[in-house]
Copies of this chain bind each other. A is one copy, B any other.
Amino acid sequence: MMGRSQEEKAQSRHRIVAIASRRFRELGLGGISIADIMKEAGMTVGGFYRHFESRDELVCEAMAAACQEMEDSVLTKQPTLKLSIQTYLSETHRDEISSGCLVSSLVNDTARSTDDVRKVYAERLEASLRLLESQMPDACEGEFREKAILIYSAYVGALGLSRAVPDSELSRQILDVVASQLISLFPV
C-alpha cells in the first residue's frame, strides 16, 4: 500500500529481528512462521524478503541479537559469581523464556541446525564462559575454565529441566538445589 523511508525500513528490520529473537526462544526455531512474525511486527509476509534472503538468515540474525542483548544486560548486572548463579537459576529466568538465555532455551534446536546457527551459538557460549571465568573467586584453586564449563553445564541443564517438568514443586527444587550446591562449591 505504501512506500516508506529508508529510516523506517531500518526500524522495520529491527522490529522483525527483535520479535523473532523473542519468539524463537519461546517457541523454538521452527515454532513460529514468518507470516506470524511479520504480523506481530505490524506488517505482512510479502515484505519479508526485501529484508532477508531466507528464513535461515533471520534465524541467525535473531540469535545474534539475543546474544547481544545478553551481553549488554548480563555484563553490567552480575558482577559476582554468586549473583550470576542466583540470577541464572531463578524462577524469573525460568518463566521469562522469551527474554532469557538462548544457550539454554535453544540448545536442542541448535544441535539440529545449520553450521551458521551453531557458530553464532558457540560465540555466545564462549562469551558466557569467559564472563564466568572472570567472576571466579581467587579462592578457587585449579583451572578456571574447567570450572566455568561445569557451572554453565549445570546452568543449562537445571534451567532446561525446570522448564520441562510439569510439577512446580520439583521445578523449583531443581533450581534451588543446583544453585545452592554451585554456590557452596565455589565460595565467594
Contact = CB atoms under 8 A, between A and B. Distances in A.
Nearest to A174: B149
A112 B27 contact: yes
Nearest to A27: B112
A161 B106 CA distance: 10
A28 B161 contact: no
Q: How many copies does the complex hold?
A: 2
Contact of A157 (B31, B122, B153, B185): B153
A147 interface: yes
Given A30-B30, A107-B161, A160-B160, A149 B177 contact: yes
Interface string A98-127: 000001011111111001001101100100
A38 to B, nearest CB: 21
Most buried by B among A103, A149, A170: A149
A-B interface, 9 closest residue pairs, ranked by CB to CB distance from nearest? A157-B157, A156-B157, A153-B157, A111-B163, A153-B158, A118-B166, A108-B108, A110-B164, A107-B160
Interface of A: 27-28, 30-31, 97, 103, 105-112, 115, 118-119, 121-122, 125, 146-147, 149-150, 152-158, 160-161, 163-167, 170, 173-174, 177-178, 181-182, 185
